[in-house]
Structure 1
Amino acid sequence: MSNLIVPKGYKPLLNLRQTELGIKKIKDFFQQNLASELRLRRVTAPLFVEKGTGINDDLNGIERPVSFPIKDMNDTVAEIVHSLAKWKRMTLADYGIEKGYGIYTDMNAIRADEELDNL
């Protein structure tokens, strides 16, 4: 059952361009201020991971990953990332991030079983 409610006659306060500008301002503020104060390093997250590596967390136990074959890797199956929990822990170790420091990233995910709702 969907929890998404779109009121009849709904009109957003901001147009698309204003919304995108607002998102950019928030991200810029975070990167310039909060990340520095919290001693965070920005790292680039993967868009997909190889199936079977265990990196793509199934946090709630029922998520079905969106997957596809990679032609140039003998049709190895890749999964669109839907959680970075395990990946972030691995990345902290790979980068040698010390206690008191951390990482942040922009995550782009596709979740086949996501329930839409109002923000």
Structure 2
Amino acid sequence: MRRRLTARVLLFDPLDRILLMRGRFEGAPDAERFWFTVGGGVEPGESLMQAAAREIAEETGLADVVLGPVVWLREAVMPDMDTQKPLLCQESYVVARSAGGAPSRGG
């Protein structure tokens, strides 16, 4: 079974508000939308923390982020979006703090 390592980020501002994204799976424009944390796949040669920092920058545009500890690990088997074969998703949830500001999807 193919494995996908991901860095999920619990991104807090100074008021302890968490930033969540809302969307739907690609290729399913009529599907129900859902809430999810910032984050994504760990690329080859990249550490978990490097992936977390990259995903924050890409998805929010925020650069003043301090990464904290991994606070939760999750594994789930899901169908691969491309092949529909089983995919083992291994998620690490990292706490991060930012000074806040308006997110940007420019990255």
Q: TM-score of the superposition, structure 1-length normalised?
A: 0.24
Higher helix proportion (structure 1 or 2): 1
Q: TM-score of the superposition, structure 2-length normalised?
A: 0.26
Higher strand proportion (structure 1 or 2): 2
